[in-house]
Amino acid sequence: MAQLGFDFGVEPTPLLKVTPARLGLYDDCPRRYRMTYLDRPTPVRTGPWAHNTLGAVVHNALRELFTLPPAARTPERAGALVGKHWRSAGFADAVQIARYSEAARRWVADYASDHDVAGEPVGLERWVSATVGSDPARPALIVEGRIDRIDSREGELVIVDYKTGRARPGEADARRSRALALYAVAAARTFRTPCSRVELHHLPTATVASAEHTEADLRDQVSEAEETAATARELTDRLTEGGDPDALFPARPARRCAWCELRPSCPEGQEAVPAARPWDLLVPTA
């Protein structure tokens, strides 16, 4: 006898797996999104950029700092970790390398001096993955990503993101950051602990820009992420079915084309603005 069952003719909607970086890339430029995640073979890229190298060095130094026993997290040790993790890719010459390695050492040492670094973070470079949705009863996304640091303060989690770029962030930057908002939602789900505060720690200016999200704020950010993810998935499906890649994923020429890593493979970006030099996005040093 055949097994009895029910078939209502409704296929469950598959969850879309996304990262904040992937969503942000699509919003900035669908062409860059396609070339980064969909095109095979991988398009030709630029070489390394000094500001990315600098950011990675500072992040690695701070990550290791918080793995040390609290008593060892001194400014001197923090500065020394910059030397341990130093890389020179993308810099103009030895003079520039020396100037920025010293600047990074000073930033990280000052950070250890000016901040309470004795506490134990909940996560360092922590990968989180959580099912989320603007409608909690029908989640649409699996949000994943790596968070620089997750603190626990007064029974709630705080998302900390380190910055080393040219622009000093403000409260508005922290509040409108989709990445930080999605990380807050994902961290709350992962650790089953409330998380509403997000912070941008800009080491070159010793600035901390923070925002306290409401449930409505986070719901709006998740809703926008759902829309972006659904659009990108629909266009990807159409591309797979033989659609025109340039029509489905058009370029959005802008000032950022000057330093886009896919500029060598994008005629529209090359025509939009002159190419930046690999060190042009470094934060000025005193």
Say if pTM beats, i.e. exceeds, 0.85: yes
Q: What is the mean pLDDT of residues 194-207?
A: 98
What are the residue ranges of helices labelled H in the chain? 20-28, 30-37, 50-65, 75-85, 94-114, 171-176, 178-191, 215-240, 245-248, 267-272
Which pLDDT score is estimated for 286?
A: 67
What is the β-pairing status of strands 207-212 and 195-202?
A: antiparallel
pLDDT in tens, 7-63: 445 455 689 999 999 999 999 999 999 999 999 999 999 999 999 999 999 999 999
Contact 268/253 with Cβ under 8 angstroms?
yes
- Residue 151, helix vs strand vs coil: strand
User: Between 48 and 137, whose confidence is greater?
Assistant: 48
Average pLDDT, the chain: 94
206 backbone φψ class: left, alpha, beta (φ>0; ψ -120 to 50):
left
The DSSP H or E segment spanning 91 is none
Distance CA 20, CA 17 (A): 10
DSSP secondary structure letter of residue 118: -
Residue 249 has pLDDT above 60, yes or no: yes
Query: Hey, what are 239's tokens?
Result: 């591309």
pLDDT in tens, 148-186: 999 999 999 999 999 999 999 999 999 999 999 999 999
Which pLDDT score is estimated for 134?
A: 82
